[in-house]
């Protein structure tokens, strides 16, 4: 029961934070240390439950993903063109992640480095909110997914590399990157959700295949609970976030990060 409680807590944390600009990996690392659930198996579990969050996005944006299976001339973000843009967004972080994965897991998966990443990411959010282009001008702004271009997709992918530092936040890096490159904040958030699917699926699959020997059938209930809870909480978080994102700035998330960053640092020093 203690293990299933931990799986439930971690699943809730993953689902609620994966698509918000607060860093799910950072929160999972902190929570894992508080629950005394750390080590190689814990690291893979934290990656595995991301599949639940990914599935939530697939369900919510099912029509968009189905649209990627065929070319529809009147819908630019479809078929090969849509897949190509998602590939371009995933490419930079995928390459850099493969090159640095060992270093990242050895030196950056701890609460101290997460606390610094939370603070730096918060400053980045506040800076973007102050200096990003005026994204209300429809003539100079990317308004919807169908306005996306390969150049924009690759640019967002380069910003996504910042998320390789656990605690920085993949969502924050892609949303803020999109806003700096001229997208409306609603589009930046929506594309961040879609772009998460291929890179998270690849990272999860790679980690599970690489470490499958760590697990036994006894781990199945633990992993199942984490997966299901992550899926449900991500559904709630994404639906709520997308309704709020057009009505507010991202500053509250930055202030939240700046509050918890020193608390995390002081707790573990």
Q: List the chain pLDDT tens, one digit each, 269 residues.
A: 578 888 999 999 999 999 999 999 899 989 988 998 888 778 778 888 988 999 999 999 999 999 999 988 889 999 999 999 999 999 999 999 889 988 998 899 899 999 999 999 999 999 999 988 765 555 557 889 999 999 999 999 999 999 999 999 999 999 999 999 999 888 999 999 999 998 888 877 777 777 777 777 777 888 899 999 999 999 999 999 988 987 889 999 999 999 999 999 999 98
Q: Which residue's structure tokens are 């730096």?
A: 120
- Rounded Cα distance between 85 and 89, Å, is 6
Element (H, E) at 97: helix 79-107
Give the number of C-alpha atoms closer than 13 A to the C-alpha of residue 170, restricted to the C-beta side: 27
Residues 50, 204: contact at Cβ < 8 Å?
A: yes
- Rounded Cα distance between 149 and 1, Å, is 49
* The pLDDT value given to residue 203: 77
Contacts of residue 130, defined as CB under 8 A and 6 or more positions apart, other chains included, come to: none
Two tokens at 68?
């990627």
Which of 231, 239, 236 shows the shortest CA–CA distance to 14?
231
Q: Which residue's structure tokens are 């998966």?
A: 109
Q: How large is the C-alpha radius of gyration of the chain?
A: 18
Which of 44, 60, 50, 42 shows the shortest CA–CA distance to 11?
50
* The pLDDT value given to residue 135: 55
- Rounded Cα distance between 261 and 259, Å, is 6
* The pLDDT value given to residue 115: 95
* The pLDDT value given to residue 98: 87
Residues 59, 234: contact at Cβ < 8 Å?
A: no
Q: Where are the domains of the chain?
A: 1-267
- Rounded Cα distance between 123 and 231, Å, is 30
* The pLDDT value given to residue 205: 78
- Rounded Cα distance between 238 and 54, Å, is 11
């Amino acid at each position: 029961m203690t293990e299933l409680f931990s799986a439930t807590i971690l699943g809730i944390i993953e689902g609620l934070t994966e698509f918000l600009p607060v860093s799910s990996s950072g929160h999972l690392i902190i929570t894992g240390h508080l629950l005394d659930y750390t080590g190689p198996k814990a690291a893979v579990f934290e990656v595995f439950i991301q599949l639940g969050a990914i599935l939530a996005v697939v369900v919510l944006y099912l029509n968009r993903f189905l649209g990627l299976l065929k070319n529809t001339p009147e819908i630019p973000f479809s078929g090969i063109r849509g897949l190509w843009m998602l590939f371009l967004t995933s490419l930079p972080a995928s390459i850099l992640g493969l090159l640095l994965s060992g270093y990242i897991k050895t030196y950056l998966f701890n609460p101290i480095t997460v606390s610094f990443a939370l603070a730096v990411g918060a400053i980045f959010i506040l800076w973007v909110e102050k200096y990003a282009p005026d994204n209300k001008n429809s003539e100079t702004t990317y308004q919807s997914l169908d306005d996306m271009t390969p150049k924009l997709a690759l640019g967002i992918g380069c910003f996504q590399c910042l998320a390789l530092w656990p605690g920085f936040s993949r969502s924050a890096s892609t949303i803020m990157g999109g806003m700096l490159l001229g997208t409306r904040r609603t589009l930046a958030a929506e594309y961040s959700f879609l772009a998460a699917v291929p890179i998270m699926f690849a990272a999860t699959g790679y980690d599970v295949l690489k470490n499958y020997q760590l697990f036994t059938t006894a781990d199945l209930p633990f992993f199942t609970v984490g997966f299901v809870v992550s899926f449900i909480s991500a559904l709630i978080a994404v639906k709520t976030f997308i309704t709020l994102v057009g009505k507010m700035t991202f500053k509250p998330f930055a202030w939240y990060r700046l509050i918890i960053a020193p608390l995390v640092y002081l707790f573990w020093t």
